[in-house]
Amino acid sequence: MRRHLTRTGLLIVGDELLLGRRSDKHFPRALDFFSARAVDLAWVFYVGDDHDLLVRQFKAIRDQGDVCFCFGGIGATPDDRTRQAMADAHDRPLSRHPEAVRLIERQFGREAYPKRILMAELPQGASIIPNEYNNIPGFFLGDIYCLPGFPEMAWPMVEWVVSTQFSTDPSARHGFAAVAVPDVRESELIDLLAEVQRCFPQVRVSSLPRFPAEGRWLVELGVRGPHGQVSAAMEWMCRQLQQRGLRFDHLSGS
């Protein structure tokens, strides 16, 4: 039975990202993909090609019980450390997955050996994620899904995972509304935000101050949550702002 997915996290691996040699394309893609399915991104971690650090991250994610999509580091070169780190984090050896071997052999024939076949060495007990781009599969163990770093390969694989392992409800997308309040400092609005949160516990409030431009302070107050609750919370907050004699402008919401 598929589980309902409402939140997930991303682990994006590669020295090339942290050194600025490449720009990450997974985070912006994830914002669009998961938002359309009413799935919140709870966290995003960037990690270099460091075996010990990867092991610690995988252990922490496993212990938290979070669903994680991990991108990068599953190739066959020495700097690809995700497969070994996942095995070590779960106290399992690497072993050649029969189905992964079959897929790689079918794709490359004799050229699968001696190096490409290394990508069939997965943590013992892992299940594979099909890769229609070149038949080199990803894999998952528990709720950690390990995918290639190349977006053109990875995102069809993410879609396969979400559609086969989980259910989502796009109609449950949260709404968002915001107002811009000029000539006020954030510290003057803390009690108001706390009261909104107390009266409407299903929403989350946010505050984004802008530093003075031409001597004028501005604070953007936001409310996010179920659409009906967002409307009610924002109406209540606007009344409170008016009672305090504060002006505000409505910003575009969703």
Sketch the domain layout of the chain as residue ranges: 3-167, 174-251
pTM for this entry: 0.89
- Position 215 scores a pLDDT of 72
At residue 1, the pLDDT reads: 77
Q: Give tens-digit pLDDT for 18-50.
A: 999 999 999 999 999 999 999 999 999 999 999
Give the angle subtended at the CA of 245 by the CAs of 241 and 248, to the nearest 5°: 50
Phi, psi of 20 (to 5 degrees): 80, 15
Query: Which tens digits make up the pLDDT trace of 68-111?
Result: 999 999 999 999 999 999 999 999 999 999 999 999 999 999 99
Q: How far apart are CA 187 and CA 181, in angstroms?
A: 13
* Crossing angle of the two packed helices 151-165 and 26-35, in degrees rounded to 10: 30
Going by the DSSP 8-state scheme, the letter that residue 21 receives in this structure is S
Q: Which helix (H) or strand (E) holds 46?
A: strand 40-47
Q: Which top CATH class is 3-167?
A: alpha beta
The mean per-residue pLDDT over the stretch 146-170 comes to 97
CATH topology of domain 174-251: Alpha-Beta Plaits (3.30.70)
**What is the per-residue pLDDT for 103?**
97
Q: Tell me: pLDDT of 136 over 80.
A: yes
Mean pLDDT of 180-198: 94
With H, G, I as helix, E, B as strand and everything else as coil, classify residue 51. Answer: helix
Q: Indicate if the pLDDT at residue 252 is higher than 80.
A: no
CB 131 within 8 A of CB 149: no
Lowest mean pLDDT among 105-109, 146-150, 215-219: 215-219
**Is the torsion defined by CA of 152, 154, 155, 157 positive or negative?**
positive
Amino acid 218 reads: L
